[in-house]
Amino acid sequence: MKFDIKAPFQYYFTRIPEKDKCIYLKLLEGISDLSRSIIVIGKNVEKIQRIYELVKFDNPLIFYVDQLKYSCSPMFSQIMVIPQYRFGKKDIANILSELQRELNLCCSKWKWLSDIEKEKNIHDYLVKKVEYGRDQKASSFEAVGPILFGTGVCEGISKAAKLFCDYLGLVSMIVMGKKNTQNTADCQELHAWNIIWIAGNQYHKDITFDLTVMTYGVSRYDYFNLSDREIQRDHLVLSEYTPKCVNSYGFYQKENLFLANQKDLMDIIGKNVNKDIVFQLPYDVNFYNAREKVMQIIRNSIQASKKIQNVEIAFNESQRVFHLHYL
């Protein structure tokens, strides 16, 4: 039995050297066939493992491989790759069928939308459905975790996002990097997110970060289609193959939720009494001064209005986004 797991767009395959593409294709074909062993020409196990990671990022339907083991034959300059499969053929076929059913159900409703609307629907679906998988189950690292079980970590969420993009004809990839929320040089926590191509531009999008900054059930777009400069405020890109993202989509600006000055801030708070408000301030403002100014305006609003009892403030310092929640 051969499983159709090849993605329509394989970014890393297009970027790796020609000699590495032979290894990439060998691994992909062997895993598609559920081969017990795959013979690869070469002597470097670490290199094969790196290529395998790219195969998985390019093709997020590969959810059923636990790990690769290796048997080396230096005399013949070849390595036997031995995939360790999590499931048998029948279980893989059943899971693939469930996965495709859910993808078709969602994508049939979104396929007539514009590319940016398709992307936003993918974002909202995952942000609302997925609980960040702190249990570290194997499925949380694969696309099946977020889509079928509603739980995932950054790798699984990024794979799920790419899988939806593949089904909807959107070009995307998975980025390998680190989270750097403390803005320190010794950042060590590995992280994964996506880059997507929309209207001729490449953008970073981190659905995991939007999921984890979300408060009071209100969807956030702090990491929706950012430029390199914006994502680098709390992310570190590791892969040499990552494309440049020069432009910013500016989600909050397009939604008139980017407040350039104090008057804008006072206006939006005054017009949205007792309504949840999410807004963004310019990055070059001093965050602590801005936070104090926001709190002062809220205190004044509470004193001026008999309707407001209390307000809770959530904020994302790195992206200068505030969420006001009225109690």
- Which of the listed residues 249, 280, 308 is the one where a domain comes to its end? 249
- In the chain, % helix, strand, coil (3-state, to 5) comes to 45, 20, 35
46 and 175: one domain? Answer: no
96 and 78: one domain? Answer: no
DSSP 215: B
Query: 140 is in which domain, residue-wise?
Result: 89-249
94 and 79: one domain? Answer: no
Q: What is the pLDDT of residue 149?
A: 93
220 and 106: one domain? Answer: yes
The residue-averaged pLDDT of 68-81 equals 85
Residue that is written with structure tokens 């696309």 in the block: 143
User: What CA–CA distance (Å, rounded) separates 313 from 324?
Assistant: 5
- State the pTM of this model: 0.93
Assess contact for 194 and 303: CB atoms under 8 A. no
CATH of the domain at 240: 3.10.620.30
CA 247 to chain centroid, in Å, comes to 18
22-54 pLDDT, tens digit per residue, is: 999 999 999 999 999 999 988 889 999 999 999
Does residue 4 sit within a domain? no
Q: What is the pLDDT of residue 295?
A: 80
Q: How confident is the model at residue 267 (pLDDT cuts 50, 70, 90)?
A: confident
Neighbours of 288 (CB within 10 A): 9
99 and 164: one domain? Answer: yes
Please report the sign of the dihedral spanned by the C-alpha atoms of residue 22, residue 57, residue 80, residue 70: positive
User: What CA–CA distance (Å, rounded) separates 233 from 42?
Assistant: 40
- Which of the listed residues 85, 100, 133 is the one where a domain comes to its end? 85
Q: How confident is the model at residue 134 (pLDDT cuts 50, 70, 90)?
A: low
Neighbours of 263 (CB within 10 A): 9
95 and 239: one domain? Answer: yes
Angle (CA) 65-71-73 rounded to 5° is 145
Beta strands 311-316; 321-326: pairing state: antiparallel
Does residue 293 sit within a domain? yes
148 and 271: one domain? Answer: no
User: What CA–CA distance (Å, rounded) separates 222 from 178?
Assistant: 17
Tell me which residue of 249, 142, 266 sits closest to 192, measured CA to CA.
Answer: 142
Does residue 298 sit within a domain? yes
282-326 pLDDT, tens digit per residue, is: 888 888 888 888 888 777 776 666 665 677 888 899 999 999 887
Q: What is the pLDDT of residue 158?
A: 98
69 and 169: one domain? Answer: no
- Which of the listed residues 85, 106, 139 is the one where a domain comes to its end? 85
Q: How confident is the model at residue 59 (pLDDT cuts 50, 70, 90)?
A: very high
Phi, psi of 262 (to 5 degrees): -65, -35
User: What CA–CA distance (Å, rounded) separates 104 from 201?
Assistant: 27
Q: Which amino acid is at 258?
A: F
81 and 93: one domain? Answer: no
DSSP 43: S
What share of the chain has pLDDT > 90, as a percent? 70
